[in-house]
Each structure stands twice: as C-alpha cells, then as structure tokens.
Structure 1
C-alpha cells in the first residue's frame, strides 16, 4: 500500500470511529499507535524505536512523562503528546512537550488528539519549541499537499534537514490557509473593511460595514463556487467519456447569474461548501444531457437535493453529507432511493451513468 493510501485508510478509520472514542487511552490505541506504526513506520512494540511514557526529569519536575518518544540510533527524534480525540487541541496541552523539548535532542514534537496532528520545531529560538505548529494534519479533512511533508517524518524517509528547512514556509503557508478559511466562514471587521475600501468610495461607517459584511460573504462564496466550476471543467475535459458532450457553452456553468442563484438561494438551512461542491459535480455530469441552467438545488434538514427544472418531482441526486458517513442518494424510476456511501466527492463520478440516465428520464 502506498504512503498516501495508508493515510487515506487511517483517515477513514478516524472518521468512522472518532465519535465512539471517549478516553485518552482509547485514542492512543485506536488512532495514535496506528499512526506511529502504519504512517510513520515505527514498531510501537520495539522500545528501541518507540518509548511509551517517556520520562526525562526536568529541573524540579520529577516523574513527568511524554506519551511517546520516537528513537533513532539511541537518540530522541520525535516527542508525541496525546489528548482525547473528542477534545480540541490547545497550546496549554503541550506543557510537557515544551519542557522536554529543551532537554532532549528532539527537533520535532507532535501534539495530537488522534484526529488532528500538530507538529512543532524550534524556528523561533534554538532548542525552544515554537508556540505555533509548522504543520497541521487533520485526518478528518486531509490536505493532500501535506502528504510529502508527513512522509519526511517516516522511518524510511526521515530527513530532518529537509523538514527543518521547509518548516518555516510550511508554518506560515498553513497558518495563512487556516486564517483565510476562517475569514471565508466568518469575516472579521478588518477583512470586510479591506475589501470594501477597494470597491466603495464612501466612508466606512458602521452602517456600511453592516451592509458589506453580507456582500463580502456572498462574493466570497460565489468566488469559491466559480473556482470549483473551473476545476470541474478541467477534470471533465481530461477524463470525459466519448458519450459526454455538453450541448451548452461550458462558460455558462460559471456565469454570474447561475452562480448567484446557486449561492444565494433563500433557505433556513445552512448550506455547506462541501454540499455545493458535490452539487457542482452532479451538475457538470448532467450538463451532458441538458443546459446547465436547468440544474438547480434545494437544501433540507435531512439532505441536499439536486433537481431538474427546480422541480422536486425530478430529483437527480440527494447528498446526505450531514453525518460522519457521506452518502450519494440516487432514485430509480419509481422514486425509490438507493444510498451509496462515499468517502470523497470524486466518487460521485463513478455514478455518472445513473445521473445522466435520471436526467434523460425526466427531460
């Protein structure tokens, strides 16, 4: 099994089991030890490679332990501190890591709840662990760009110099990506002001801020929606089957009126970006049979529906994305729904034939 496949397998396990893990020990057994073993490649039962409950007395502190120390040639290389999977990680959880980092040869420390892995080094001051991680791996939503960096930490590919040299850029790129994502979800006053002052010539008053907060959120959502469209069109252009020939200008898929309708549809239900991305995949498939303007969506409490002609009697697919396990719901000619479990949105393409058949049936 390739390295990225091993990460994907563990990520699936985390998604399926995280809700059932209630203690720190269970988190270690279910998620942390498999990560050390299958991802990093160290033998968790060999004390020459992995030392559980690692003790290194620090000053007046006696008998404190770090959950795991990964060894190479008799020297500590990575320190790991664990917390229960249901809890959020905070810098206060890393107190032992801070102390032990300065008294061992370790240049890498990890704080984890089994789901999120935060990796630290000493970029800010030698032999002193940074307060902010240089790499954050979230197994509930794996960023594929981080996989090569995680591989550098594995036993067979361990490259400390490469890790440290890349750490500073990784630290700030990752922090910026998380901050941008946070601003897209809930824009701060500074974010709203930054963009408003570039398009609005009046004074930035409280009333203007209130007005433009919604506009900035809408523009951000439409921007993401259009980028998703662009990516889908590229993917479909590379892998389209011979019977998939759109009968409309592909640019129309990302046209401003359609994007505005997709994002701004009034509903009391919170529509997620993941649902919109799934919708755009279904829409791109359906456009091989009908014009893109005929494909619409409606969100509900239990599922997100993709419809033909905005008619709930013409369902093309239902996206059940509210639980840990995602399902693609497809309906037959009798409106009987079959739910197909999916791990990634790309798996929707595997059902392209059924989606196009539904479009043909209704059209």
Structure 2
C-alpha cells in the first residue's frame, strides 16, 4: 500500500512537471531519484546509491552509468537515465556494455516515465536484448506494483527475481504474439484452425476466406467472454444488494438506535471530517453493533460501536479489514483512536 501510494505520487508529479523539465539532469532529479527512494534506497547515501558509477570495459575508459544501487558493497542494479521525451529503443546498447562491465544481475533503462528492467536469462553476464519487465509509471497497474515491490530494499532477493523474470519475459512475449494474431492473423495461425474445421484443400482463396473467419471468430469469442464476466459481476452485485436490503428490513423491525450511539457517531464524524466530507460518513444500526461506514457502503466499514452490552467497545479495523474491539469507559475515549480511525480511510481511498 505504501509503495503504491508513493508511485502514484510520482505519477502525479510527472504529469504536473514534465512540460517544464528541459534536461536529462532535471529528469533524474525530478522523476528518477524519487523512484529509487520509493524502493527504499537512500539516495543521499553515496555508499548505497552511487551516481556516475564507473563502468569501464577493457581499454574503453571513462564509461559511467548514471546510478548504481549497492547492497553489501556489491552493485545490484545499474540505472541508465534519459530525458523524459526520449525514446528508449535507441539506448539499450549503451546499457548492454555497462551491464557486462559491472557484473550486476539487473539493469534499468528509464526516461523517468517508462522503465525497462533487464537481466541475463539467455547468456550469463550478458544482458538480454529485450527487457523482462517494463511499465509506464503514469499508468501503473496493481500487478505492476507487485512486481516493482520485489526490487524494494526490504524484499530484494536476486534468485527470486531472476526465477520470476523468466516467466515475466516470456509471458509478455506470448501476450504480444496473441495480440498481433488477433489484430492480423498470420498464415500459420489461420492454417492451424482451418485444418481443424475444413477437410478440403487449403488453396490461396480458401486461406484468404479463413483469414477473415478466424479474425471474426476470435473477436466474437473475446466479446462474449467479456460480456459473460460483466453480466456475472453485475448479477452477483445485484444479489448482494438484494440480500443486504432483506437483512436491513428484517433487522430494522428489532433495532432501537440510542442517543448514546448517535453521540458516539458524532464524535467519529468530528474526527474523520479532517479527511472526509461529512456527507460521505453514514451509519447503519444493527442488532449486534452500530456500524459507521464510508459512502453508506457496508463493505467500507470505518468503525463499529458495540454499546448494547454491559461494557462498551469501539471496533477498529486493520489493513486487512479485520476488526479489533477496544474497551472504552466513556464516549470521549473514542478520541484516543483518532489516528487509527484516520488510517482506516486509506483502505478505501487509493
């Protein structure tokens, strides 16, 4: 969650500042260094993040890579940076030389927006021509955050990343092939399906006809799959809403909301209004507890008041939405949970 928030903050900063960034050096300071810092490395420690790291190879001297990240006095990642407007396709050969000279296992080529991660899956100590993982930080997805987290200082494990890199690389390549075949089916792809359904001779005319049929069939199949998933999700949501309504109707007949619960609610609102508008904070009283919700959604609980017994409790939620009941002796004790209540908002506000 923390890494995801930091990456989103960098993306926001990029969108705000990129048109004012005129140099490669500015790109490094504004975009790349915050990324390195988000991964848990101290950009102010020259023993951990080394700028202008020497990567001489043979007789060729004066070769320097923009940054090298060290762990236990060994370079674990080298980073080559370009201006944010530059196309990275023109620069991997330079990084290839640095990779061989430094003996690192990971190289990163970036313009501060696009990030390409390389290793040596095909030949030991020789950087692969294609990255095993790449992303656009301004359009980052949850699964990409998960992959990035493996490079965090607290998680970094060379063997685990390398083992996973192979699956990432070839999955990416296969997906690219699938996309190309769906967009413009190749002769071999069309022939594969034509042989399965057509018993005649595959002449040029027949193949031309089947090219259109294969493209149409795959388009329709994908469309149907997407519609099925959407309909399934909508039906499930409708069922859940119906069950919620039935549950509320059944409980409403046996529920009495007390002034003490309402006063507790007002205290919680006073705390949460620092981060939320009041109209987003709602309550639902049940037989078991008095629930305080975000956006009147019972899947977004902010806290619960358990005031129906001889002792009073406030139920607060952790990062996995597990409730912990805490004893309170008076209503003003709710203020003691201010920090935890405000933190709960982050579960739903990404």
Equivalence map 1:79-158=2 (5 Å): 79-90=78-89, 92-158=90-156
Residues of 2 paired with 1:193 and 1:22: CA distance? 51
CA pair 200-171 structure 1, distance change in 2 beyond 3 A: same
- Counterpart of 1:159 in structure 2 is 157
Residues of 2 paired with 1:20 and 1:198: CA distance? 57
Determine if the alignment matches structure 1 residue 231 to structure 2 residue 248. Answer: no
State the Cα deviation string for residues 11-50 of structure 1 (Å, max 9, x = none): 4555676677665344434432222122x22222322222
CA pair 8-100 structure 1, distance change in 2 beyond 3 A: same
**Secondary structure of residue in 1 paired with 2:88:** coil
**Secondary structure of residue in 2 paired with 1:217:** helix
Residues of 2 paired with 1:51 and 1:229: CA distance? 51
CA pair 242-210 structure 1, distance change in 2 beyond 3 A: same
1:206 to 179, 204, 207: 204
Q: Which moved more, 1:74-83 or 1:108-117?
A: 108-117
CA contact (8 A) 1:123 1:168 kept: yes
Residues of 1 paired with 2:70 and 2:151: CA distance? 12
Q: Structure 1, unaligned stretches of length 5 or more?
A: 245-363
**Secondary structure of residue in 2 paired with 1:62:** coil
Residues of 1 paired with 2:86 and 2:130: CA distance? 18
CA pair 28-219 structure 1, distance change in 2 beyond 3 A: farther
Residues of 2 paired with 1:165 and 1:113: CA distance? 26
Q: Structure 2, unaligned stretches of length 5 or more?
A: 244-350
State the Cα deviation string for residues 141-185 of structure 1 (Å, max 9, x = none): 435334333211111211112111222222211221222223323
Tell me the TM-score normalized by structure 2: 0.60
Cα RMSD (Å): 3.1
**Secondary structure of residue in 1 paired with 2:112:** coil
- Counterpart of 1:73 in structure 2 is 72
CA contact (8 A) 2:8 2:138 kept: no
Equivalence map 1:1-363=2 (5 Å): 1-11=1-11, 13-14=13-14, 23-38=23-38, 40-90=39-89, 92-240=90-238, 242=241
What's the CA shift for 1:205? 3.5
Residues of 2 paired with 1:187 and 1:226: CA distance? 20
- Counterpart of 1:272 in structure 2 is none
